[in-house]
């Protein structure tokens, strides 16, 4: 019902948006502000780390013994503290990453998944750990598919969207194995456990979501080792998670490699989860940058990880209008430029068909979209070197290297890095692209698959799936843009077969990969099948707030046409004003009147975008 409400509101919001284009009510761009690097924190001494771990070891049993109802209440307490401190979290991130026209809006949008996860976990725990699917269907492969998004009033915010969890072949859509075992008195570890989360340095939302997963899904209390890159957010994070920190179920420590080595080998740690690189994973598990061909791990702890990939976005030939070309080019530009490209889901390879008649028009639209964005400062360690290496590789060919973006003309503080252009290596043949390691900065490649037969969408889908699976390193996430008429021509079974053939843990249809990350009802992680010896994009899923026991992948399908400017477009300057209403709306999904109030305020901000 609520999706129908949202769909009915769409034309009105679109009209309101057009009216504001002619008035001063429209939100405009704010000044570009360069990052202001934070003062590094002092590493937490070993003695203090030991004390924190001993405290966690003493409280782990109490956490295990909390009922699902008690845990639901704690999640709602965390939501309350999140609503008090989310702006502080967004502001501190903006100061350290820079502001590129939208104030703190871009950083604010990245913390929306925290609200989703807290709300969904609370609802699931209120129901004994189970958040029932909206519906279940069977894929052409015979796999069970659970529809999980948007649920209830979220449909008004996301009309026309559909989020799905695909189960492993032959497995049921069973949920919450931990809580079923607890209810039966059969949980495996009755004494509790202490886990270590090695926090991601690029996005604070990742840290929070990883902590919640270890607590709720794995039933373990958590020591968080903050990354030196974003440790500045640690004190605010403690406020957001205060209901857990104050009870002794979450502790934070700070430091670099030396502290990391100490905590990963600490005897009180039972399991480890990291978001980072395969090199870091191998050092933890094997004691070396690469896994040996034989032998046992040097670290016996259970280690799960999310380790990124070469993210492909596949552009399927179809009858795109001029407006389609412009809108989807902005989508693709955002997929590269968000967070200066320092994302595991950032676009790395754009897959097109050389014989698509509109390929040139689409690439011109993409070039225009990137050229309209401010150039950014790569704040992540090593990113400037990666950017320079990419330029060196492609500046004399193959393909054509384009340097794009609005140059920064203001003063650069002493010691600060100068904003760099977006780099696009265009028109590469498949064998010319570099697709075996992440660039982790604002650069991308366009690979044009050759062959007259690939102007046929069915043939292109087969070729694109083979290229993404076999030539692009990793299996974390991919996206595909396919026109509704093309989908209708192919048939739903052919489209679903293509999505099944893509060996990725997360797939976005007609939206950037970031949306699949933000929708926490979907699983997030590398495709199942990786091993500690060949870890690729990692082992295990996080998010998955419905706690499906046998998830294979998550798929988000977005409507082709958006009635208003999408939140992820980087020229949507309303996000900073919209986010308070959206976050309170999500927090009040179980209170219809309050949710409607906040939805109304959100609609006003959307119109002013």
What is the arithmetic mean of pLDDT over 231-252? 98
Statement: residue 482 has pLDDT above 60: yes
CATH architecture for residues 311-411+418-506: 3-Layer(aba) Sandwich (3.40)
User: Which token pair is 383?
Assistant: 């990113």
Phi and psi of 364, rounded to 5°? -65, -40
Q: What pLDDT digit, counting tens, does each position of 154-184 carry?
A: 999 999 999 999 999 999 999 999 999 999 9
Give the separation between CA 536 and CA 438, rounded to whole angstroms.
Answer: 12
Give the separation between CA 548 and CA 429, rounded to whole angstroms.
Answer: 40
Q: Give 20's pLDDT tier (boundaries 50, 70, 90).
A: very low
Is 64 buried (19+), middle (13-18) or exposed (0-12) by CB count in 10 A? Answer: middle
Domain ranges of the chain: 31-130+175-306, 311-411+418-506
Range of weakest confidence among 104-108, 189-193, 378-382, 501-505: 189-193
Q: What pLDDT digit, counting tens, does each position of 38-79 carry?
A: 899 999 999 999 999 999 999 999 999 999 999 999 999 999
Give DSSP secondary structure letters for 352-388. EETT-TTHHHHHHHHHHHHHHSBPB---STTHHHHHH
Give the separation between CA 104 and CA 110, rounded to whole angstroms.
Answer: 10
Q: What pLDDT digit, counting tens, does each position of 403-413 carry?
A: 999 999 998 87
Give DSSP secondary structure letters for 183-230. HTT--S-TT--EEEEE--SS-HHHHHHHHHHHHHTS--EEEEE--TTS
Q: Give 2's pLDDT tier (boundaries 50, 70, 90).
A: low
Q: What pLDDT digit, counting tens, does each position of 329-368 carry?
A: 999 999 999 999 999 999 999 999 999 999 999 999 999 9
Closest CA to 352 of 402, 290, 426, 302: 426
User: Which token pair is 285?
Assistant: 């598990």
Statement: residue 18 has pLDDT above 60: no
Statement: residue 98 has pLDDT above 90: yes
Q: Which pLDDT value is given to residue 122?
A: 98
Per-residue 3-state assignment (H helix, E strand, C coil) for 4-44: HHHHHHHHHHHHHHHHHHCCCCCCCCCCEECCCCCCCCCCC
Q: Which pLDDT value is given to residue 4?
A: 62
Cβ 524 vs Cβ 541: under 8 Å: yes
Q: Which pLDDT value is given to residue 469?
A: 98
Give the separation between CA 487 and CA 117, rounded to whole angstroms.
Answer: 32
What is the arithmetic mean of pLDDT over 437-456? 94
Statement: residue 318 has pLDDT above 60: yes
Q: Which pLDDT value is given to residue 6?
A: 57
Is 111 buried (19+), middle (13-18) or exposed (0-12) by CB count in 10 A? Answer: buried
Q: What letter does residue 534 receive in the DSSP assignment?
A: B
Q: Any idea which residue has 């396919």 for tokens?
A: 482
**How far are the Cα atoms of 334, 339, 477, 539, 567 from residue 515, in angstroms, in the given order?**
11, 14, 11, 21, 10
CATH architecture for residues 31-130+175-306: 3-Layer(aba) Sandwich (3.40)
Half-sphere exposure of 463 (CA within 13 A, CB side): 22
Cβ 535 vs Cβ 294: under 8 Å: no
Helix (H, G, I), strand (E, B) or coil at 553: strand
Q: Which pLDDT value is given to residue 22?
A: 46
């Amino acid at each position: 019902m609520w999706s129908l409400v949202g769909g009915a509101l769409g034309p009105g919001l679109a009209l309101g948006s057009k009216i504001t284009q002619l008035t001063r009510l429209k939100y405009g761009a704010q000044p570009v502000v360069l990052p202001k690097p934070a003062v590094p924190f002092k590493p937490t001494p070993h003695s203090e780390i030991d004390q924190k771990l001993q405290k966690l070891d003493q409280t782990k049993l109490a956490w295990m013994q909390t009922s699902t109802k008690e845990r639901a209440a704690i999640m709602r307490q965390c939501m309350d503290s999140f609503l008090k401190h989310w702006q502080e979290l967004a502001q501190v991130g903006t100061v350290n990453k820079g502001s590129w026209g939208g104030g703190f809006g871009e950083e604010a949008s990245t913390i929306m998944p925290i609200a989703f996860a807290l709300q969904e976990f609370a609802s699931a725990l209120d129901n004994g750990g189970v958040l029932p699917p909206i519906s279940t269907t069977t894929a052409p492969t015979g796999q069970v598919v659970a529809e999980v998004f948007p649920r209830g009033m979220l449909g008004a915010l996301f009309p026309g969207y559909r989020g799905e969890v695909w189960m492993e072949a032959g497995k049921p859509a069973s949920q919450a194995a931990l809580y079923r075992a607890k209810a039966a008195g059969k949980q495996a570890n009755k004494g509790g456990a202490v886990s270590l989360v090695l926090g991601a340095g690029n996005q604070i939302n990742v840290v929070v979501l990883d902590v919640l997963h270890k607590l709720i899904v794995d039933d373990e209390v958590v020591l968080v080792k903050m990354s030196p890159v974003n440790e500045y957010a640690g004190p605010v994070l403690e406020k957001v998670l205060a209901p857990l920190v104050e009870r002794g179920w979450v502790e934070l420590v700070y430091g670099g490699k030396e502290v990391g080595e100490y905590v990963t080998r600490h005897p009180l740690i039972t399991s480890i989860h990291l978001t980072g690189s395969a090199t870091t994973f191998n050092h933890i598990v094997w004691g070396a940058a690469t896994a040996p061909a034989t032998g046992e791990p040097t670290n016996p702890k259970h280690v799960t990880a999310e380790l990124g990939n070469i993210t492909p976005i596949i552009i399927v030939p179809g009858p795109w209008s001029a407006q389609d070309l412009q809108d989807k080019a902005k989508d693709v530009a955002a997929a590269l430029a968000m967070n200066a490209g320092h994302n595991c889901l950032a676009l790395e390879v754009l897959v097109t068909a050389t014989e698509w008649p509109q390929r040139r028009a689409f690439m011109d639209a993409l070039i225009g979209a990137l050229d309209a964005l401010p150039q950014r400062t790569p704040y992540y360690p090593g990113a400037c070197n990666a950017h320079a290496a990419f330029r060196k590789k492609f500046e004399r060919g193959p393909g054509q290297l384009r340097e794009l973006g609005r140059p920064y003309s203001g003063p650069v503080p002493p010691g600060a890095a100068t904003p760099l252009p977006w780099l696009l290596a265009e028109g590469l043949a498949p064998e010319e692209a570099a697709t075996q390691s992440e660039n982790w900065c604002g650069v991308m490649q366009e690979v044009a698959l050759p062959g007259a037969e690939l102007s046929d969408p069915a043939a292109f889908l087969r070729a694109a799936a083979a290229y993404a699976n076999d030539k692009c390193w990793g299996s974390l996430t991919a996206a595909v843009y396919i026109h509704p008429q093309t989908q209708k021509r192919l048939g739903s079974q052919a489209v679903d077969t293509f999505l099944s053939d893509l060996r990725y843990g997360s797939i976005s249809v007609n939206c950037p990969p970031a949306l699949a990350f933000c929708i926490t009802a979907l699983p997030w992680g590398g495709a199942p099948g990786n091993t500690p010896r060949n870890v690729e994009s990692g082992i295990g899923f996080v998010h998955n707030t419905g706690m499906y026991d046998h998830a294979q992948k998550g798929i988000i399908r977005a409507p082709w046409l958006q009635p208003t400017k999408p939140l992820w477009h980087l020229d949507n300057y309303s996000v900073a004003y919209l986010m308070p209403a959206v976050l309170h709306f999500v927090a009040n999904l179980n209170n219809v009147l309050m949710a409607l109030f906040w939805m109304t305020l959100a609609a006003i901000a959307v119109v002013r975008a």
